[in-house]
């Protein structure tokens, strides 16, 4: 009886449920989490512990008994249509270390009444779970997981992913495949850089970026963002039988679908070896993973074990240790980019994080400083994700001594002293002086970078030197450097041969295709993909310059903002 449960336990359970539901909504529906995965897991584990100790407190709508969060369908004017999954898309139970993994392994074999079984181990991708439905080989429908039973119809957006074939030759009458839409680390970094430059809020991590990009009501927005997908499971499959997941993944790979990397393991020792392999390679992988998924391979054995209300008994998420560390924020360095964006960078007391000594972390913008409530001298938690500069994710206010100082966003550019202005509706404050040395250097460096004109020898150090000496004031000056050969040869570290190489690289850049030139110009809202689109549609820079705003907007993937920016 509930009356036998201590009141403080009832109160804690109610509070935990409300808190977890709040974070579920932020994570699954709004793509704006307020806490880390490790903090969320701690809340869920505490709730599971209390419900285990007091079974009478378990309710059907508890977060421990449900999956994800209700999908945003049918409640507002602009939402996605609902999709009911023929087979529920479940969540996964977590284990945090080798002892918990061993306990799960032994419990699983006991449930199978067996001494051994084959397992499949694959990376736990940090993205958005989706289901693809093929009917007679034709891609008919795509949806998000939602609450496991009902998801959102995002078919039009999934069609924008080049890795998803529109047709499958030799496919069965009905094929439902599950997987994860994700964003590669490099694409995530490039997207956030563009958003910062455009005065937009940045995404917290690749998972949020992928989810936010896929759940756009305008599929053109999805098309402009580089999303990827891996498939790793099945829903319904009609008139084709497979003995296990390894066999099924081999089958769909032959059909042309992108299959997740995986290992077949015969015992716990091999599972642990695969886990360690992924942990060792974590930083080198092009995508984010936060652990591995361990599953029984044999489908018949899965049926024997069955499922709980929110998770299967035959699979578990074996999580990696959190990449966080505690340190102190000593100072703020104000960085000025090529578009004038003034970005705060936290200077930290050096701390070891994921095998790397961290001395700097991103604070993104003024709003982020206010949201965190961070001050000079604060003790903070920093989190490292892939090769991205670490983020300050939390302030430990209990560690304050009273000597902390407020962080005030500069009104003057820290480089040139010009006024710093934050345009209405934007999150980025900018230096208003186009001739600011930091902006000049940033524009030239970007123009010469690998994704643009690809001029070898125009790295940060040399560009800074050329700007300082007055040799280069804008990208056009790069092509006049041959007239300054004698002066270049007198620079420290430069001789006849190095100058010859530099001038040769500049000359070779004149053969770059039009899309590279458009990308190199740094037109606001025009990145590599849109540059390709513009080049394909206009063929020459003269045609593009002559195009009206209406002609630009008529092109698929070019909206009003891009058109206006190109015209300006």
* Catalytic residue IDs: 124
Tell me the C-alpha to C-alpha distance, in Å, between residue 511 and each of 164, 503, 505: 34, 14, 11
State whether residue 445 is helix, strand or coil.
Answer: helix
- Phi-psi category of 159—alpha, beta or left, where left has phi over 0 and alpha has psi -120 to 50? alpha
CB-side exposure of 439: number of CA atoms within 13 Å? 18
User: Distance between CA 212 and CA 501 in Å, rounded?
Assistant: 44
CB-side exposure of 288: number of CA atoms within 13 Å? 26
User: Distance between CA 420 and CA 430 in Å, rounded?
Assistant: 5
Dihedral sign from CA coordinates of 483, 487, 490, 494:
negative
**By the 8 A CB rule, do 317 and 93 touch?**
yes
Measured in degrees and rounded to the nearest 5, phi and psi for residue 434 equal -60, -25
User: Distance between CA 117 and CA 123 in Å, rounded?
Assistant: 20
Picking from 347, 360, 353, 306, the residue whose alpha carbon sits closest to that of residue 326 is: 353
Q: Which residue has 């037109």 as its token pair?
A: 523
Q: Which two tokens stand for residue 407?
A: 């962080």
Pairing of strands 93-95, 315-319: parallel
């Amino acid at each position: 009886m509930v009356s036998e449960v201590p009141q403080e336990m009832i109160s804690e359970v109610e509070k935990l449920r409300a808190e977890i539901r709040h974070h579920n909504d932020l994570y699954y529906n709004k793509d704006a989490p307020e806490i880390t995965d490790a903090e969320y897991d701690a809340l869920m584990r505490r709730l599971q512990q209390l419900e285990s100790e007091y079974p009478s407190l378990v309710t059907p709508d508890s977060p421990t008994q449900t999956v994800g969060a209700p999908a945003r369908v049918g409640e507002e004017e602009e939402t996605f249509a609902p999709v009911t999954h023929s087979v529920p898309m479940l969540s996964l139970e977590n284990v945090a270390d080798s002892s918990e993994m061993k306990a799960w392994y032994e419990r699983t074999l006991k449930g199978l009444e067996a001494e051994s079984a084959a397992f499949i181990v694959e990376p736990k991708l940090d993205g958005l779970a989706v289901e693809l439905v093929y009917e007679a080989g034709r891609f008919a429908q795509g949806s998000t997981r939602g609450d496991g039973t009902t998801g959102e119809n995002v078919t039009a957006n999934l069609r924008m992913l080049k890795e998803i074939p529109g047709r499958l030759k030799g496919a069965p009458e009905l094929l439902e495949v599950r997987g994860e839409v994700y964003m590669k680390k490099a694409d995530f970094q490039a997207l956030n850089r563009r958003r910062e430059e455009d005065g937009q809020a940045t995404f917290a991590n690749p998972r949020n970026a992928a989810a936010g990009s896929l759940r756009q009501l305008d599929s053109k927005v999805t098309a402009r963002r580089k999303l990827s997908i891996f498939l790793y499971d099945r829903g319904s499959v009609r008139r084709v039988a497979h003995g296990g997941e390894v066999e099924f993944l081999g089958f769909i790979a032959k059909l042309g679908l992108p299959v997740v990397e995986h290992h077949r393991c015969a015992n716990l020792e091999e599972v642990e070896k695969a886990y360690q392999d992924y942990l060792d390679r974590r930083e080198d992988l092009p995508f984010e993973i936060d652990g591995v998924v361990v599953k029984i391979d044999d489908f018949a054995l899965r049926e024997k074990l069955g499922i709980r209300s929110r998770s299967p008994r035959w699979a578990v998420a074996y999580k990696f240790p959190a990449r966080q560390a505690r340190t102190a924020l000593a100072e703020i360095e104000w960085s000025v980019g090529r578009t004038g964006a003034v970005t705060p960078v936290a200077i930290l007391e050096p701390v070891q994080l994921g095998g790397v000594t961290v001395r700097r972390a991103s604070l993104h913008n003024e709003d982020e400083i206010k949201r965190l409530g961070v001050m000079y001298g604060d003790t903070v938690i920093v989190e490292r994700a892939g090769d991205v500069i670490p983020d300050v994710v939390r302030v430990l206010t209990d560690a304050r001594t009273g000597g902390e100082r407020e962080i005030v966003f500069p009104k003057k550019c820290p480089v040139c002293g010009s006024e710093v202005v934050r345009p209405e509706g934007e999150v980025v404050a900018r230096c208003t002086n186009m001739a600011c040395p930091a902006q000049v250097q940033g524009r030239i460096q970007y123009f010469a970078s690998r994704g643009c004109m690809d001029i070898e020898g125009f790295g940060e150090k040399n560009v800074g030197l050329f700007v300082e000496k007055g040799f280069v004031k804008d990208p056009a000056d790069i092509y006049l450097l041959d007239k300054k050969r004698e002066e270049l040869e007198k620079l420290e570290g430069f001789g006849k041969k190095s100058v010859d190489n530099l001038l040769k690289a500049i000359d070779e850049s004149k053969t770059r295709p039009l899309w590279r030139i458009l990308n190199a110009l740094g037109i606001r809202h025009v990145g590599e993909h849109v540059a390709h689109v513009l080049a394909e549609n206009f063929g020459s820079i003269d045609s593009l310059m002559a195009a009206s705003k209406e002609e630009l907007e008529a092109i698929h993937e070019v909206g009003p903002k891009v058109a206006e920016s190109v015209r300006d």
